[in-house]
């Protein structure tokens, strides 16, 4: 992560997920977010990466926690 704005956005993603999944704990959330973030290594367009990371990490955390997904 070399772009300071992107780093700040990923930190914000971790904080948001931490409030949604308080029972999981910050270290595990940071690990999941980091894994999702690295899926985009080398991506030329980086504008939506924090959003995509948050969505993917949220899905993974829902699976891990056994929580029911909201219906839209």
18 confidence band (pLDDT: 50, 70, 90): very high
Per-residue pLDDT, 14: 98
* pTM, to two decimals: 0.86
Boundaries of every domain in the chain: 4-65
Element containing residue 9 per DSSP (H, E): helix 4-20
**Residue 67 pLDDT > 70:** no
Rounded Cα gap, residues 59 and 63, in angstroms: 6
**Residue 8 pLDDT > 80:** yes
DSSP class of 24: T
Q: What is the pLDDT of residues 32-55, one digit of tens each?
A: 999 999 999 999 999 999 999 999
Within its chain, how far is the Cα of 2 from the centroid?
17
């Amino acid at each position: 992560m070399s772009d300071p704005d992107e780093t700040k956005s990923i930190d914000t993603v971790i904080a948001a997920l931490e409030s949604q999944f308080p029972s999981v704990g910050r270290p595990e959330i940071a690990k999941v977010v980091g894994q999702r973030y690295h899926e985009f290594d080398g991506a030329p367009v980086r504008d939506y990466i924090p959003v995509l990371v948050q969505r993917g990490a949220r899905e993974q955390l829902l699976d891990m926690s056994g929580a029911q997904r909201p219906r839209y």
